[in-house]
Amino acid sequence: MQQQRDPERLRIVVFLTDGAVGNEEQVLRALGAELNEARVFAFGLGSAVNQYLLDQLAVVGRGNVEYIAPNEQIEDAVQRFQSRAAFPLLVDLALEWQGATVNEISAVTLPDLYAGQPLQVLAKFSTAGVRSQESGVRNQKSGVTLRGRSTTGGWSQALDVEWPEATPDRPGWAVLEQIWAQTRIEALLREQRKPGGAANSQRDAIVKLSREYGVLSPYTAFVALEELRDEHTNRAKAQKVTVPVHLPQGTLREAFEPRPALPPGVMMASASMGGFGNQIAGAARASFERKRAPI
């Protein structure tokens, strides 16, 4: 990351993991500080990957993430990685709202767009601010312009937006508030990781969102409190019970059990990643060596 960047090439970083990583915040903070306009693509292998970490790596690194289950064919994932890493369709995206008051957007920095990838943005809007610039009368329709850069230069597209008076009373729509709150918390956490971030104010905002909308955050937790009725006051004393936990699919128990000491002079052999690692590495090298498009 700290190496000098070639302005004519786009640096691609591939993160490949088949297990859990425990220091997520440390990894994400280091990536944000050292990214230097590189793009990060993550591959999660198996059934026990740290999905939160890989998703956030792709967001911070403005790349993408692929999950490959045990016994799943990997060719399609490798081809998607090659096409996305080599040919982003749009970069440096920005939204411009016309005739509406929109704030608290889920993504402070919009991601790059690749072939077959939608752009999803969650935000809060105020109907009181939706007014016609000519008459000043409230208007439930406004516009938004998406701007960015492609291989041919500047690009923009204008869209019409119709704002509802309130959240529609339809199945599934009520959960939009919680989805927005969760994505907003993730955006605040990303801002908090940046050097010089206002940690205290962002923490207070995260706690407020978590409590108001009932979503978890690193600073809050849901606690269940048991209320005993009179007939339960004389019940037997609680006992500690050990509950077995199943291993993730495709995981060997031997990997978590202590190994017997080896006889003197005997060395432990390690297995390589084999065909999968070779295919991913080959795709990565092909992307590294391809000259960056003039965008």
- The domain limits of the chain are 12-219+277-289
Alpha-carbon Rg for the chain, nearest whole angstrom, is 25
Give pLDDT tens digits for 91-144: 889 998 887 778 888 877 888 888 778 888 888 887 554 555 555 545 577 888
CA 193 to chain centre: 14
What does DSSP say about strands 12-17 and 39-45: parallel, antiparallel, or unpaired?
parallel
The number of beta carbons lying within 10 Å of the beta carbon of residue 105 is 17
Q: What is the pLDDT of residue 33?
A: 83
Q: Is the pLDDT of residue 273 over 70?
A: no
Please provide the average confidence, as pLDDT, over all residues in the chain. Answer: 77
For residue 156, the model assigns a pLDDT of 94
| Calpha distance 147→103 (Å, rounded) | 18
User: Are the C-beta atoms of residues 10 and 40 closer than 8 Å to each other?
Assistant: no
What percent of the chain clears pLDDT 90, i.e. is strictly above it? 11
The answer to whether residue 191 scores a pLDDT higher than 50 is yes
Question: Which is it for strands 12-17 and 91-98: parallel, antiparallel or unpaired?
Answer: unpaired
79 forms beta bridges with: none
10 Å CB burial of residue 101 (0-12, 13-18, 19+) is middle
| Cα torsion angle, 114, 187, 176, 156, sign | negative
Whether the pLDDT of residue 285 is over 80: the answer is no
User: What pLDDT does 271 receive?
Assistant: 42
Comparing C-alpha atoms, which of 197, 220, 201 is closest to residue 32? 197
Position with higher pLDDT, 25 vs 274: 25
What is the maximal distance between C-alpha atoms in the chain? Answer: 89
- List CB contacts of 205: < 8 A, sequence separation 6 or more: 188
Q: Write the CB contacts of 134 (distance below 8 Å, at least 6 apart in sequence).
A: none
272 band by pLDDT with thresholds 50, 70 and 90? very low
- Report DSSP letters for 161-209, one per residue: EE--SS---STTTTTHHHHHHHHHHHHHHHHHHSTT--HHHHHHHHHHH
3-state secondary structure of 81: helix
Q: Can you read off the two tokens belonging to residue 291?
A: 């000259």
In tens, the pLDDT along 46-84 reads 888 888 889 888 888 888 888 988 888 888 888 888 877
3-state helix, strand, coil in the chain (%, to 5): 30, 20, 50
pTM of the model: 0.69
pLDDT of 173 > 60? The answer is yes
